[in-house]
Amino acid sequence: MSAESSAFSELRGHLHRTRLLRSISNTLSYDQQTAMPPAGSDWRGEQLALLAEQLHQRQSSEGYGDLLAAAESELAEQAGASPDLGRTLLLLRREYERQRAQDPALVVRIAEARVRGSSIWQEARRRNSFRLFAPALTTLIELRREQARQLASAEPGANGCWEILAQPFEPDVRAPRLEQLFTPLLDQLPALLERARSRAAETAAPALPADLQERLCRDLLRGWGYDPSRCSRALSAHPFSSTLGPADFRITTRIVPDQPMASLLATAHEWGHSLYEQGLPHSDEQDAPWPLGQATSMGVHESQALFWECRVARSEAFARRWHRPLVEGLGADPWESPGGLWRSLNPLHPGLIRVESGELGYCLHIVLRFELERALLEQDLPVEELPERWNRRSSELLGITPPSDAQGCLQDIHWAEGLFGYFPSYALGHLISAQLSEAMEAELGAGTEALIERGEDARILSWLRHHVHPLGRRVNGEQLVQQVSGRPLEATAFLRHLSGKLERLLSSDR
Amino acid sequence: MSAESSAFSELRGHLHRTRLLRSISNTLSYDQQTAMPPAGSDWRGEQLALLAEQLHQRQSSEGYGDLLAAAESELAEQAGASPDLGRTLLLLRREYERQRAQDPALVVRIAEARVRGSSIWQEARRRNSFRLFAPALTTLIELRREQARQLASAEPGANGCWEILAQPFEPDVRAPRLEQLFTPLLDQLPALLERARSRAAETAAPALPADLQERLCRDLLRGWGYDPSRCSRALSAHPFSSTLGPADFRITTRIVPDQPMASLLATAHEWGHSLYEQGLPHSDEQDAPWPLGQATSMGVHESQALFWECRVARSEAFARRWHRPLVEGLGADPWESPGGLWRSLNPLHPGLIRVESGELGYCLHIVLRFELERALLEQDLPVEELPERWNRRSSELLGITPPSDAQGCLQDIHWAEGLFGYFPSYALGHLISAQLSEAMEAELGAGTEALIERGEDARILSWLRHHVHPLGRRVNGEQLVQQVSGRPLEATAFLRHLSGKLERLLSSDR
């Protein structure tokens, strides 16, 4: 994007200001999750709605459309222009058409309903009352369906409400392709889960004091390039990662006394998200406001988070390294050995709660949500029947029936924030992470276990920084996997990883 | 403001949106002080500049001017309209004229220079390098002088650059009036300080562990009506209070190991600010966006903070109440008695640092700054001569010469943020707080010492909530004092409080 013409330079100015506004909105959301008292939520909703209105106005204005058209004509007249320019304008044009297609009043109503929905959901989950939440969910579904109707003309490739709403998270995703990717999981995971049941009952993890958990998280990050001049950390009910500026990266974790490893694993996960953001070309001033500098899909984003959580923090080598500081910090060894710590980092039985589920059951949690959100959006499943349907499918897919809605269909915040179409990205993240791991191992001649064992964590990061992070949005999620691994995305590597790890864990038990 | 006409109703809508935008800006500033990593400051500066530009545009637009004019004509046609309506429109008109008088480009440059100034100041103070800070200070002074030139036509009553810049903090303030109020302080404080020197050297306060300090702050607030559903707390380098929405109140404190009482006193101080904000009529939906619902001046604001810090938290009765939990928490009694704790809460010797100075020397710190900022803005004092002049006047007024600029003219953040004209509000706060205390005692038949002794803290808050907080901007700071105490503001009550407390402390020493 060097030697910019005037059309591109004006476009850059416009996008820069859009990015400033969006980051203001993200900062308010960050504060909402980490610091805002509950009674602040109505006002916060009004603030976010105002910003959503401004953002929509900027991104759909005729003036912006003219800027875009001028850049497009200029590009058409250039011979031998970089393909990056073409891709840049294509992505901007797609987003512009999406924004143009939406009624501004609807944009504001959705922003307000999201804040209200998440506030009511917190109360409903606390009181285990799906009835309290149902009206807000109904409103969100209606608003998002209306949005999908408006967006249909701007998404000619997407088929139906669900696919249209999923585009921002997973560009170019199609529901049948997801079903194709998930079929091997549905075929093979039940057998792996059955085999895991042969494992002795999982012992409850020992409680770790909050300050020890906090110290471990800090030490973990110190070894993985955490730079306090550019990053900061906080506690929140739901761990997340957020980029608030070109040099302002935040991650959060939660400290739960009876889930001693949750804070450490969440920190590894969110730090993986943040490392991807920090490695994207948008941190480079040159690419700053252009879409090619951004994350390409939430599936790829999740793959980076899962890489650090599952490949690194849940590895046997990592457990060996961390056993001693944990035992010293606690003044006791409730795991009895590094192997015991490793086993406690890798529960095999599928949990009731998605975020606490081990790797074996996790994707079945996603299939459940993928099915149900399509049923709600496209098959007229009545909202009041959601708990019953959830519990039935949970029993069928995972072999467990939630004893309460708080531990069932009220467990996730996503739908309360109007996020439909997001969940499959988590499963894609597992698949992508596994396939990228194998590609890394093939190239370096050593997998994550061996590299961590040798203390060569830096080579892992370096490989990701070289092969994955800099691609930005030059390719979509599936193209990224094809380019880096030389093969189309499939579930094979992930299933190979799971069955290998399962056997190692089962023999470590003995 | 009930039974609103259409002009007033449109005006209300406009002001509501302005308030939303301003609170977004305040939220970014809050995050900047409590969570943002240092490298985020350039981007944060751009975000705040964008919001400052939008706010200025809204507050100075012709469309807003038309709304205001329509409301004014409507009011002129009403017989027997409430005086509140007249005052409301007068305050809005004044602010509109101020905003109209300013060049939008200057507004943006000032917003950027403030963020840059405070970022450089932090580095300069850390490195004790005034030279590093001087260019940023020079820029801020030039920008603010230019702003005062532009504002002169909108402030016909204000005389000179300093008074013009001080108006937003202390409406209707005049420099000669401040000199008149400060003269008795300059006359009598040196003798009180001299008498305090007869006190034995002040012993260093015992260090308190961070978690004990944190627990004490929490317990303090629990007794003073802190409601976690509407309030939240954080740590920051400089304690402050901020209102981010009608039901979203934040306070911060800092935990410094070798200043064990600083966190407790700062918490009391900032909570006093917040109680004022919470008691203002702007929390009531009816008055929400109207100026009468707001704080009337920073002097009154400080008086409320100082009320809880100096009248309550530094009282002898309070020390008696808190001695036992402190000793229990610490497992030792380094103060040897409740009286020892009280003495340690009340240092008599003037400190090098304003915020750590006891009540006796504090106002002399303010006089020093009041003099120097007028010299910088109006008497062409060269920036490079500031350290020398600061040190000389510090020696003359306080009898101490700072050993470094970090402990001298670099100690405060105000000028680094372009805040000139703010400091005298702190001294006014002491005077107002003292005069209101006497008024309360006259009415209730008991002063703060007696009420705290009896555990009747709630009556103190109730008196303030009844007499002080609901006035909002119906009166300015001096009018408020006249109305509540029945006398014009003067230094007498404050000097009476100081000499009384000094004698009690000196005899408690023996």
Q: How far apart are CA B128 and CA B409, in angstroms?
A: 10
The answer to whether the CB of A315 falls within 8 A of the CB of A504 is no
The CA distance from A406 to the nearest CA of chain B, in Å, is: 22
The answer to whether the CB of B78 falls within 8 A of the CB of B22 is no
DSSP tag of A310? I
What digits encode the pLDDT tens for the residues A384-433?
999 999 999 999 999 999 999 999 999 999 999 999 999 999 999 999 99
Q: Which of A238-252, B175-189, B348-362 has the lowest mean pLDDT?
A: B348-362
A13 Cβ neighbours under 8 A, 6+ residues apart: none
The residue in chain A having the minimum alpha-carbon distance to the alpha carbon of residue B19 is: A47
Q: What pLDDT does B390 receive? A: 98
Q: Which residues are A345's β-sheet partners?
A: none
- Name chain B contacts of A43, Cβ cutoff 8 Å: 20, 23, 244-248
Q: How many CB atoms lie within 10 A of CB B500?
A: 10
| ipTM for this prediction | 0.92
Six-digit token string for B58: 């809204």
Confidence of residue B81 (pLDDT cuts 50, 70, 90): confident
Q: Select which of A270, A316, A373, A478 is catalytic.
A: A270
The residue in chain B having the minimum alpha-carbon distance to the alpha carbon of residue A24 is: B47
Q: What pLDDT does B265 receive? A: 93
Q: What pLDDT does B201 receive? A: 66
Six-digit token string for A392: 């039935």
CA angle B7-B9-B15, nearest 5°?
A: 105
Q: Is A245 helix (H, G, I), strand (E, B) or coil?
A: strand
Mutation target for A interface from B17, B27, B33: give the one with most A CBs within 10 A.
B27
Q: What pLDDT does B286 receive? A: 60
Six-digit token string for A246: 């070109």
Q: Which residues are B234's β-sheet partners?
A: B252
In residues, how long is chain B? 510
B10 Cβ neighbours under 8 A, 6+ residues apart: B67, B70
The answer to whether the CB of A463 falls within 8 A of the CB of A443 is yes
**A23, A34, A37 member nearest B248 (Cβ):** A37
Q: How many CB atoms lie within 10 A of CB B229?
A: 10
What digits encode the pLDDT tens for the residues B20-72?
999 999 999 999 999 999 999 889 999 999 999 999 999 999 999 999 999 99
The string over B231-247, giving b where at least 16 C-beta atoms fall within 10 Å of a residue's C-beta and e elsewhere, is bbbbebeebbbbbbbbb
Closest CA to A133 of A148, A143, A115, A118: A118
Confidence of residue B498 (pLDDT cuts 50, 70, 90): very high
Average of pLDDT values for B67-94?
91
Q: What pLDDT does B257 receive? A: 75
**A20, A43, A244 member nearest B248 (Cβ):** A43
Catalytic annotation present for A270:
yes
The answer to whether the CB of A139 falls within 8 A of the CB of A113 is yes
Average of pLDDT values for B425-443?
97
Q: Percentage of chain A surpassing pLDDT 90?
A: 78
Cα distances from A113 to residues A45, A121, A144, A167, in angstroms, run 8, 12, 10, 20
Average of pLDDT values for A359-364?
95
Instruction: Answer yes or no: is pLDDT of A222 > 70.
Output: yes
Q: What is the largest CA-CA distance in chain B?
A: 72
What is the helix (H) or strand (E) element at residue A251, kind and residue range? strand A248-253
Q: How far apart are CA A438 and CA A476, in angstroms?
A: 20
What does R_g of chain B's alpha carbons equal in angstroms?
23
C-alpha count within 13 angstroms, C-beta hemisphere, residue A418: 22
- Name chain B contacts of A34, Cβ cutoff 8 Å: 35
Confidence of residue A225 (pLDDT cuts 50, 70, 90): confident
Six-digit token string for B67: 């709304």
User: What's the whole-model pTM score?
Assistant: 0.93
Q: What is the largest CA-CA distance in chain A?
A: 72
What digits encode the pLDDT tens for the residues B245-296?
999 999 999 888 778 788 999 999 999 999 999 999 865 556 678 899 999 9
B296 Cβ neighbours under 8 A, 6+ residues apart: B171, B471, B472, B473, B474, B475, B476, B477, B480
Q: Fill in the amino acid letter for B471.
A: L
- Name chain A contacts of B38, Cβ cutoff 8 Å: 229
Most confident of A42-46, A323-327, B495-499: B495-499
DSSP helix, strand, coil percent of chain A (3-state; round to 5): 70, 5, 25
Q: Which residues are A253's β-sheet partners?
A: A235
**B27, B46, B229 member nearest A37 (Cβ):** B229
C-alpha count within 13 angstroms, C-beta hemisphere, residue A171: 20
Question: Which residues from A are below 8 Å from B when comparing CB atoms?
Answer: 17, 20-21, 23-24, 27-28, 30-31, 34-40, 42-44, 46-47, 50-51, 228-232, 234, 244-250
Instruction: Answer yes or no: is pLDDT of A498 > 60.
Output: yes
Q: What pLDDT does B115 receive? A: 85
For tokens 């809880």, name the residue: B308
Q: How many CB atoms lie within 10 A of CB B151?
A: 19
What is the helix (H) or strand (E) element at residue B104, kind and residue range? helix B104-126
Instruction: Answer yes or no: is pLDDT of A2 > 50.
Output: no
Closest CA to B428 of B138, B103, B90, B178: B178
**Residue B365 burial by Cβ neighbours in a 10 Å radius (0-12, 13-18, 19+):** buried
What does R_g of chain A's alpha carbons equal in angstroms?
23
Six-digit token string for A253: 């974790």
Mutation target for B interface from A18, A27, A44: give the one with most B CBs within 10 A.
A27
**Residue A424 burial by Cβ neighbours in a 10 Å radius (0-12, 13-18, 19+):** buried
What digits encode the pLDDT tens for the residues A402-415?
999 999 999 999 99
Confidence of residue A178 (pLDDT cuts 50, 70, 90): very high
Instruction: Answer yes or no: is pLDDT of B443 > 90.
Output: yes
Six-digit token string for B257: 């190991």
Q: Which residues are A62's β-sheet partners?
A: none
Sign of CA dihedral A110, A116, A118, A121: negative
Sign of CA dihedral B108, B110, B113, B115: negative
Q: What pLDDT does B203 receive? A: 65
Q: How far apart are CA B405 and CA B120, in angstroms?
A: 15
Average of pLDDT values for B111-125?
91
Closest CA to B22 of B90, B77, B99: B99
Closest CA to B481 of B510, B446, B443, B438: B438
The answer to whether the CB of A255 falls within 8 A of the CB of A273 is no
Q: Which residues are A248's β-sheet partners?
A: A245
Q: What pLDDT does B179 receive? A: 97
Q: What pLDDT does A283 receive? A: 57
What digits encode the pLDDT tens for the residues A269-293?
999 999 999 999 865 556 678 899 9
Q: Select which of B270, B316, B359, B373 is catalytic.
A: B270
- The phi and psi torsions of A232 (rounded to 5 degrees) equal -145, 165
For tokens 């300015």, name the residue: B476
Q: How far apart are CA A297 and CA A278, in angstroms?
A: 15
Q: What pLDDT does A284 receive? A: 58
Cα distances from A37 to residues A44, A170, B227, in angstroms, run 11, 33, 9
Six-digit token string for B208: 């308190």
A29 Cβ neighbours under 8 A, 6+ residues apart: A48, A242
Q: How far apart are CA B88 and CA B294, in angstroms?
A: 11
Sign of CA dihedral A207, A210, A211, A213: positive
Instruction: Answer yes or no: is pLDDT of A481 > 90.
Output: yes
The CA distance from A190 to the nearest CA of chain B, in Å, is: 45
